[in-house]
Amino acid sequence: MNTNATARWNPGFAFRILALVVAGLLVTQPAAAQSGADVARAYREAHEAEIVRDFAELLTYPNRARDLEDVTRAAEYIRDELQAVGVTSELIRIDGVAPLVYGELRVPDAERTLGIYVHYDGQPVDPLNWTHPPFEPTLYTASMEAGGTPRSMPEPGDPVDPEWRLYARSAGDDKAPIAAILPVLRAFREEGVQPTSNLVFFFDGEEEAGSRHLGRYMEMAADRIADIDVWLFFDGPAHQSGRPQLTFGVRGSMGMEVTVYGATRNLHSGHYGNWTPDTGNILARLLASMKDDTGRVLVDGWYDTVEPLGAEERAALEAMPPVDEALKRELGLVWTEGEPETLSERILLPALNIRGITSGNTGALARNIIPNTAVAALGIRLVKGNEADHLRRLVVEHIEGQGFHVVSEDPDMETRLRYPRIAKVTGGGGYPAARTGMDNPFVQEIIGAAAAAADRAFGPGSLVLAPGLGGTLPLYLFTDVAGKPAVNVPVANHDNNQHAPDENLRIANLWYAIDLYAALLTMPITAF
């Protein structure tokens, strides 16, 4: 209807309306139905304490990736919770492997199918390093760093402060999405809201152990996931600025170990120092040859296979909020590798890092010896265009170029006496990187729905679009193997202590996740 105050009066139109009223043909139109996002928001506001308590219950289930008994109990609990909100769900099993929680919610006449990936397993824990037991969720009035203090769980009807933090293993990585999707589906069921897409849930139980069987699980469910149009990965943190983000790719990951050799046994440093080869020094020099003082990797060909960004990705990169100076102050850093390139730019390049070095002992355990070996663990992050085998070969060639004979097993005496410098190289494989183009029409729909949810939760223009995420997820199985687009949809606070002691989730981020998922599950069908 035209609501312009200058609209002209039309007697003929008025007469027709009056005639319809007299004839009883004018039916009062019902008020516009609430959107799915409105329904989910209203449900959350009415049940905040219950949602927090349900999240805490989920966090009580131990989920160490390699503990099959514990992780199976967690899977069974999640399966049952999905069933309770109307999802047809089951456990798909491989003997001796964490089960896959599979679920479906089919919508009559839906023209699109969304695949939703979450992992429910978590990193190992050392309880001695935690303030509270890692599987006894503890609610704080704010982050520990900000002076928050423990408080009791809210009772139904109690107000919930969005700045509260819930501390437990997997609070941020990656049970938070499960705790958010369940109330969304419960709200939809109670209010009769149907998603606009078919939904397929694929909950991985061994992501933190490398998702070694995920490809096989995908093969076992191939006929049930064939119609999926796009995968949404519910994992990862918000942008370091604190603003919500979408990411369209992840780095790959590979680990290698390099061992250098001296004498056949440890030798007394007084009797043999300055004579026997010093393995720690040999290894240090080898490692130093791999990067310059600015952090640039000096391995020949290291950057040659990086796939260039598209126009949309370059524009998104330029529009990302600056965080480097604030992060440097937060982390106590005066300089960073690759300056003046930003963190957002650096995570789009392959990385070579030293994860650990061993050669003898330090502190109270240090002994007056020359260790017979020194070992370095290398952490390599791949980007789109890199292949793990290729980068591994480049590292091996670099080591050979530094005068080392490279072996794959400990050298025998004949080899020791033949080559002055020997390096054993092991490891490799891991995940390749993956990236979905931001120009994909369905991706554009996801961006629109996510932007609306972000605006509602954090204010206008708050959503950050990042071409890549620094971490690693098994996206390649979905993008490269299955040939489907995938978008990563992070919700955890960036300071959630992911993988570390005192992992936590800020309650405001849980509320945002509910808004976001409701918007995504009720997106209009316009992309196809």
One domain for residues 423 and 443 = no
Token duo for residue 229: 């149009």
The better pLDDT of the pair 362, 301 is held by 301
134: in domain: yes
Q: Please spell the DSSP secondary structure of 235-280, one letter per residue.
A: -SBPPTTS--EEESEE-EEEEEEEEEE-SSS-EEHHHHTTTS--HH
pLDDT of 451 over the 90 cut: yes
154 plus 265 within the same structural domain:
no
Q: Tell me, yes or no, whether 246 and 300 share the same domain.
A: no
From 401, 481, 402, 391, select the one nearest 428 (Cα to Cα): 391
Q: Does one domain contain both 129 and 216? A: yes
Of 403, 427, 451, the one marking the end of a domain is 427
What is the domain-level CATH number for residue 91? 3.40.630.10
Number of other residues whose CB lies within 10 A of the CB of residue 243: 18
Rounded Cα–Cα distance for residues 506 and 513 (Å): 11
Rounded CA separation 36/127 (Å): 41
pLDDT at 33: 58
Q: pLDDT tens-digit profile of 168-183?
A: 999 999 999 999 999 9
State phi, psi for 178 to the nearest 5 degrees.
-65, -40
- Residue 147 in tokens: 């002076």
Count of structural domains within the chain? 2
> Strand 486-488's sheet: what is its strand order?
88-92, 100-105, 198-204, 113-119, 230-233, 486-488, 245-247, 464-466
Give yes or no: residues 193 and 262 share one domain: no
Task: Give the domain range for residue 403.
Answer: 252-306+349-427
pLDDT at 30 over 60: no
Q: Which of 376, 394, 427 is the last residue of a domain?
A: 427
Cβ pair 330, 322 in contact under 8 A: no
Number of Cβ within a 10 Å radius of residue 181? 24
Classify residue 312: in a domain, yes or no.
no
| Backbone phi and psi for residue 303, each to the nearest 5 degrees, phi listed first | -100, 5
311 occurs within a structural domain: no
pTM of the model: 0.85
Q: Write the CB contacts of 308 (distance below 8 Å, at least 6 apart in sequence).
A: none
Residue 400, pLDDT > 50, answer yes
One domain for residues 181 and 276: no
Specify if 7 maps to a domain: no
Co-location of 79 and 113 in the same domain: yes
Could you tell me where the DSSP H helices lie in 459-506? 476
Percent of the chain scored above 70 by pLDDT? 93
In a domain, 526, yes or no: no
Whether residue 323 lies inside any domain: the answer is no
Quick: pLDDT tens for 242-298.
999 999 999 999 999 999 999 999 999 999 999 999 999 999 999 999 999 999 999
Distance CA 405, CA 222 (A): 46
pLDDT digits (tens, 9 = 90+) for 323-360: 999 999 999 999 999 999 999 999 999 999 999 999 99
Establish whether the linkage from the previous residue to 292 is cis, with ω within 30° of 0.
no
Domain boundary, last residue among 377, 406, 427: 427
Rounded average pLDDT over 55-64: 97
| Whether 362 and 392 share a structural domain | yes
* 165 in a structural domain: yes
Residue 64 has what DSSP assignment? B
Residue 376 sits in a domain whose CATH number is 3.30.70.360
Q: Exposed (0-12), middle (13-18) or buried (19+): which is 114, by Cβ within 10 Å?
A: buried
Across all residues in the chain, what is the average pLDDT? Answer: 92
Q: Are residues 56 and 159 located together in one domain of the fold?
A: yes
The answer to whether residues 440 and 423 belong to one domain is: no
Please indicate, yes or no, whether residues 85 and 176 belong to a single structural domain of this protein. yes
Query: Pseudo-torsion of CA 13, 14, 18, 20, nearest 10°?
Result: 20
Q: Please check whether residues 259 and 393 belong to one and the same domain.
A: yes
Q: Is 342 inside a domain boundary?
A: no
pLDDT band at 18; cut points 50, 70, 90? very low
End-to-end CA distance of the chain: 30
